[in-house]
Amino acid sequence: MSKKVSGFSKFNSEEKINWLANNYFSDKKKGIAILKQYLNQDQKLQDLHNEFIENTISNFYIPYAIAPNFIINEKAYAIPMAIEESSVVAAASLVAKFWSTRGGFQTKVISTTKVGQIHFMYEDNFEKLTTYFEEIKSQLFKITEPLTQNMRNRGGGIIDIELRNKTIDLDNYYQLHITFETADSMGANFINSCLETIANAFKNEQIKIIMSILSNYVPECLVRAEVTCDIKDFFEKDAEHYAQKFIQAVQIANIEPYRAVTHNKGIMNGIDAVVLATGNDFRAVAAGAHAYASRSGKYKSLTNAKIENGKFYFWIEIPLSLGTVGGLTSLHPLAKLSLEILQQPTAKELMQIIAVAGLAQNFAALKALTTTGIQQGHMKMHLMNILNQLEANVNEKEIIVEKFQGKTISHNAISQALHNLRTSS
């Protein structure tokens, strides 16, 4: 049996599934049933989802949940999150409530500039290149006018085109470094279309274009979110002690990359969940955020904390390139509904909401880590997952959860306890 296939993309959904079943399923009937069980009954809706990408054969479910009680700049939000990891939404909800009685979250957008680059090789002298660039620059703006017209009407467009000499890093290597404002759209298609049009007009016998592409590094598309309270309100007892410990945990993430990566991973749990739920691109956001965390030459925390004049401050600054129009935001019915739940935010408002989701997640993680430890909260969900895996019924679940309260949970121990329970009854 050859597992090679030609023209797979031309197969219809049924044929794709059958080919897969014939070649890769151990139990064909069962495998096909699983794929089909996840298809939507409404064929028109299923067709819509099928067309988002290529070779679609089913829908992968990510739990879609709500974290209520967020107060951001005095306004109430319930934040939709799409995430498969337990504890993330519970943590968001708890932290939202905690800060809702302490002034809520304060946020602001610092900047919204995005970047695209035309990378090229040029072997002649730099002065000649500069002259050529200065001569052609206004024309480069002009030829993109049909492309940028709509964006300019919405307050965006090309901000500047800059020639950059990078020959110190790589022989003959230069860039057109182009800055954009893309209003409420993420702008990837817009930026790439502009870049390719510009590159086409800019190239000549001596200028060899290597590639033209937007950058997902957006350190000037930056948002800040903050919480603050009197130290005494930080914790029910020993508030100052725990506030100090919290700050030490942030300091550690600032000097120790092994910790910083996990610290920021927790932040991204919150951020990616809202990015996904609103139809934005979490790979782009994650790449930009982690690269920003390493901008000093050392990979560091994206959040900071301090105590000043008896007050506790905790904040995040993170680059977020997001859209609330275009792309999946208006195509995926649940992404669209997420934006409705968030009260139809502009891209700038969405940046602030998502920064809050990240800060909240980090607050929950640091508070748990510096007090009870992370496992206490995780373990209950972990226990339920193990029980589901072992197909425990409602009654068995209750008995086992009771039995393991405060005890260390391992797959082995649960499996044993369930076995004992089943054989004894």
Active site residues: 85, 265, 281, 378
Nearer to a copy of itself, 34 or 159 (CB): 34
Give the sign of the dihedral formed by CA 133, CA 135, CA 140, CA 141: positive
H or E element in which residue 109 lies: strand 106-109
HSE at residue 252, side-chain half, CA atoms within 13 A, is 13
Q: Residue 123: which residues within 8 A CB-CB, separation 6 or more?
A: 172, 206
CB of 285 to a copy of itself, least distance (A): 9
The single-letter DSSP state of residue 105 is B
Nearer to a copy of itself, 107 or 264 (CB): 264
Closest CA to 267 of 317, 340, 206, 321: 317
- The structure tokens listed for 377 are 């909260």
Nearer to a copy of itself, 34 or 110 (CB): 34
Place of tokens 């993420």: 186
The angle subtended at Cα 254 by Cα 282 and Cα 259, nearest 5°, is: 65
Residue 29, burial from CB neighbour count under 10 angstroms (0-12, 13-18, 19+): exposed
CB of 239 to a copy of itself, least distance (A): 17
Nearer to a copy of itself, 341 or 399 (CB): 341
Closest CA to 80 of 329, 330, 338, 322: 338
CB of 43 to a copy of itself, least distance (A): 12
Closest CA to 46 of 21, 14, 72, 18: 14
Nearer to a copy of itself, 43 or 131 (CB): 43
CB of 374 to a copy of itself, least distance (A): 6
Strand intervals (E) in 166-215: 173-181, 208-214
Nearer to a copy of itself, 131 or 189 (CB): 189
Provide the 3-class DSSP secondary structure of residue 307: strand
H or E element in which residue 319 lies: strand 311-319
CB of 33 to a copy of itself, least distance (A): 10
Helix ranges (H only) for 370-405 are: 375-389, 394-403
CB of 412 to a copy of itself, least distance (A): 5
